[in-house]
Amino acid sequence: MSDNILEIKTLNVRFGGILAVNDISLDVRRGKIVTLIGANGAGKSTILRSVSGIVKPVHGEILFEGENIMGLTPEQIVKKGITLVPEGRRVFPNLTVLENLKMGAYLRKDDYEKDLSYVYRLFPRLEERSWQSAGTLSGGEQQMLAVGRALMSSPKLIMMDEPSLGLAPLVVRDIFSIIRTINENGITVLLIEQNANMALKTCDYGYVIETGNITMQGEGDKLLNDDRVKEAYLGKSRNG
Partner 1 sequence: MNITSYLIRGLATGGQFALVAIGYTMVYGILKLINFAHGELFMVSGILMIYIVADLPTLPIGLAICLMAALTVFIGFLIEKFAYSPLRSAPRMSVMISAIGVSYLLQNLVSYITGGLSKQFPDIPVIGESVRFLGIKDKLTVFLSPVIAIVLTVILVQIINHTKFGMAMRAVSKDFETSQLMGIKINRVISITFAIGAFLAATGSVLYFAKNTGINHLSGANPGLKAFIAAVVGGIGSIPGAVVGALIIGVAESLAKAFGLADFSDVISFGLLIIILVVKPTGIFGEKTTEKV
Minimum Å gap between C-beta 84 and partner 1 is 5
Please select the residue that binds partner 1; options are 84, 97, 199, 223, rule is CB under 8 A: 84
Please select the residue that binds partner 1; options are 20, 37, 78, 182, rule is CB under 8 A: 78
Please select the residue that binds partner 1; options are 56, 79, 121, 173, rule is CB under 8 A: 79
Q: How far apart are the C-alpha atoms of 124 and 116, rounded to whole Å? A: 11
Q: How far apart are the C-alpha atoms of 227 and 211, rounded to whole Å? A: 20
| Beta-carbon contacts of residue 113 (< 8 Å; ≥ 6 apart) | none
Q: Which is nearer to partner 1, 41 or 93 (CB)?
A: 93
Does position 56 interact with partner 1 (CB under 8 A)? The reply is no
Q: Report the SS3 class of residue 157.
A: strand
Minimum Å gap between C-beta 41 and partner 1 is 18
Minimum Å gap between C-beta 96 and partner 1 is 10
Does position 107 interact with partner 1 (CB under 8 A)? The reply is yes
Tell me the pairing of strands 213-219 and 205-210. Answer: antiparallel
| Beta-carbon contacts of residue 162 (< 8 Å; ≥ 6 apart) | 45, 87, 88, 192, 193, 194
Binding mask 141-160 for partner 1 (x = CB under 8 A): --------x---x-------
Q: Give Cα separations from 81 to 24, 121, 235 (angstroms).
A: 22, 22, 36
Q: Which is nearer to partner 1, 4 or 153 (CB)?
A: 153
Closest CA to 183 of 225, 233, 220: 220
Does position 75 interact with partner 1 (CB under 8 A)? The reply is yes
Minimum Å gap between C-beta 193 and partner 1 is 19
The neighbouring-strand residues paired with 21 are 13
Q: What is the DSSP string of 164-216?
A: TTT--HHHHHHHHHHHHHHHHTT-EEEEEES-HHHHHHH-SEEEEEETTEEEE
Minimum Å gap between C-beta 86 and partner 1 is 6
Q: Which is nearer to partner 1, 34 or 84 (CB)?
A: 84
Distinct helix (H) and strand (E) counts, the chain = 11, 10
Q: Which is nearer to partner 1, 52 or 195 (CB)?
A: 52
Q: Which is nearer to partner 1, 86 or 212 (CB)?
A: 86
**Residues 5-44 contacting partner 1, CB under 8 A:** none
Binding stretches for partner 1 (CB under 8 A): 52-54, 73-75, 78-79, 83-84, 86, 90, 92-95, 99, 102-104, 106-107, 149, 153
